[in-house]
Chains A and B, each alone.
Chain A
Amino acid sequence: MFLALRDLRFARGRFALMGAVVALIAVLGVLLSGLASGLADAGISGLRALPVTHMAFDEKATSEQFSRSTVEQKAWQEWSKAPGVKRAEPFGNTLANAQVAQGAEKGEQVNLAVFGMAPDSPLAPRPTSGESLKEAGTGIVITREIADLGVKVGDVLTADKSKVRLKVVGLVDDTVSYGHIGVVYTDLDTWRHLHYGLPGDLPEAARRQATAVALTLEPGADVAAVEKATGTHADTKEATYDASPGYTAESSTMALIKGFLYAISALVVGAFFTVWTVQRKAEIALLKALGAPTGYILRDALAQVVAVLVGATAVGTAVGLALGSAMIGKAPFSLSAPAIATSAGLLIGLGTVGAVVAVRRITAVDPLTALGATR
């Protein structure tokens, strides 16, 4: 770094400009990562929080399974008997509207992503305040997004179509959402009332239905036979994220923007170091004539590249984190350390690749050009 550091200092204006571009891209990288994780949280954090490995849907539902699929009691009973299946239980999923009937925010409209499950199953929530779900009650456990609207434990909501009374018994104080709507947990019968919009007694057929079979499978379990017998198809939990409304579109849009960003950054860095290396040609010839091995010059140049990229990315990431923390709560935004580290790493890594292509031309410089009136 003998020469690289001194060149950085000497041509600081030029390097600062290039560094600023990388830093700005790093800022954007942090913000996009935050937005992507924020959108993912809003879209699928409810599914992510479920302690299952797979979900089995009606095999006829091939997209938007959570709204299209219906499974029968026979299905989850067969699943729970199948080999390789540790646990199988019915899971209900529906979107519903309700109004606060009793509480500080009386009259307030709320949207609910209703998750129905047996209150004694592992799927049931563990509230951070209030009580857990009870069998066949009309209790619900709300999550942070609903609580942020002013709904409290002890309040009562009325569902729009079925007019079912939903007493808030507990709160999970965490962001648990599905399709950008806050999740509420309830027992299966209450879920069925909300799903079918039925007041009063449930018809016998409805009592034996759920949206999907929530499964915990042993690794490598072969479930083809039970899938065939029950007319269902099991997806991994991660694959079900794509069934969440809007999730695929959001995440692929984010990935596309980020991909372009990194590509642009690599090209900018590559272009800069190409011009820089061409400008230095006479000096490189001189170094070679003085007896510097090509490896020495390459190492020096690459150390410079990495120093600039790491420095600029660090500054940009710090600024991005500062801006990002100000955005939390105002937008679907969450800062996840692995996502930001990946973003910074990609920026440095791809920038280095761009620069390596540029500084490779060092090897082609002929020391002979140091002689004569070429300069």
Chain B
Amino acid sequence: MTTPATGRQAASDTAGPGGLRMLDITLTLGDGDTAVTALADVSLTVAPGEFVAVVGPSGSGKSSLLAVAGGLQRPTSGTVHIAGTELTALSDKERTAARRHHIGFVFQQSNLLASLTVREQLLLPLHIDGRLDAAGRTRADELIEAVGLSHRAGARPHQLSGGERQRAGLARALMTSPAVLLVDEPTSALDRVRSAEAVRLIAEQTHERGTATVMVTHDTAIMDAADRVYEMVDGRLS
């Protein structure tokens, strides 16, 4: 398993041609006596088009799992492969680029930018990547339609409901056709009915677009839509 540092080469023996593969991940935060093991020997493989839910109480390490899977944090040990690229072997700069190209994030309460309309939220990832063109605009309109926000495309976040914001966040995450979709507590600001709708939409888009989706949540009521469910306790996955 000698993936070069540039990491673009497919590591076909450890991961499929796409999807997410996390192997023997340990993440220790802090030093010495104050060190906390956030992730202990976690392995997780998600195939393209598969929707995996990770359930656990707060402090169980769910967010750390997403941070490591999404290249926001380097694990203490273990490897992460995304779409055949070994994320853990990349430099900081390359990891930023990998986030841009291969990873879609849906954050808690969607985390939209206050000054942008829904449509602009979707165009932003393409502008960051320097490839905002007519095809991108078409794709944005298509995704807005897919999440049912066509009538709200010109609205700014403060004019949207919690559910609408969540759908806009999902559409933005899908803009770059990511291999991996990482969803953080999508329902924390939503009521029961809206929660079920939001998760159903995520499942639908996962299956339709073939993303390897990981959703972390403490809300056990929304797991039904997932293809597989893991439980996380004290940094261990079961």
Residues of A within 8 A of B (CB): 2-3, 6-7, 9-11, 282-283, 286-293, 296, 367-368, 370-373, 375
Contacts and interface: CB of A to CB of B under 8 A. Distances in A.
A6 B111 contact: no
Highest count of chain A CB atoms <10 Å: which of B63, B113, B188: B113
Contacts of A371: 63, 66-67, 72, 107-108, 184
Say whether chain A's binding surface is mostly helix, strand, loop, or mixed.
Answer: helix
B108 A372 contact: yes
Contact of B111 (A2, A3, A286, A368): A286
Contacts of A6: 115-116, 120
B124 interface: yes
B54 to A, nearest CB: 14
A10 B107 contact: no
Contacts, number: 80
B35 interface: no
Nearest to A366: B72
B105 A290 contact: yes
Contact of B93 (A3, A292, A293, A372): A293
Given A10-B115, A286-B113, A368-B72, A2 B127 contact: yes
Interface of B: 63, 66-67, 70, 72-73, 93, 96-101, 103, 105, 107-109, 111, 113-116, 120, 123-125, 127-129, 132, 156, 184-185, 188
Given A2-B127, A6-B116, A10-B114, A289 B99 contact: yes
A10 B124 CA distance: 16
A375 B169 CA distance: 15
A291 B108 contact: no
Contacts of B115: 3, 6-7, 9-11
A293 B96 contact: yes
8 contacts: A6-B115, A10-B156, A286-B111, A286-B113, A290-B125, A293-B128, A371-B184, A373-B188
Closest 8 CB pairs of A and B: A291-B100, A10-B115, A291-B99, A6-B115, A2-B127, A292-B128, A7-B115, A368-B72
Highest count of chain A CB atoms <10 Å: which of B109, B127, B188: B127
Highest count of chain A CB atoms <10 Å: which of B97, B105, B128: B128
Contacts of B107: 286, 289, 370-371
A287 B73 CA distance: 16
B116 A370 contact: no
Contacts of B127: 2
Given A296-B128, A372-B184, A373-B188, A3 B116 contact: yes
Highest count of chain B CB atoms <10 Å: which of A2, A287, A375: A2
Contacts of A368: 67, 72-73
B108 A289 contact: no
Given A2-B127, A3-B116, A370 B111 contact: yes
A296 B63 CA distance: 26
Given A3-B113, A10-B114, 7 more contacts: A288-B96, A289-B105, A289-B107, A291-B128, A371-B108, A373-B108, A373-B188
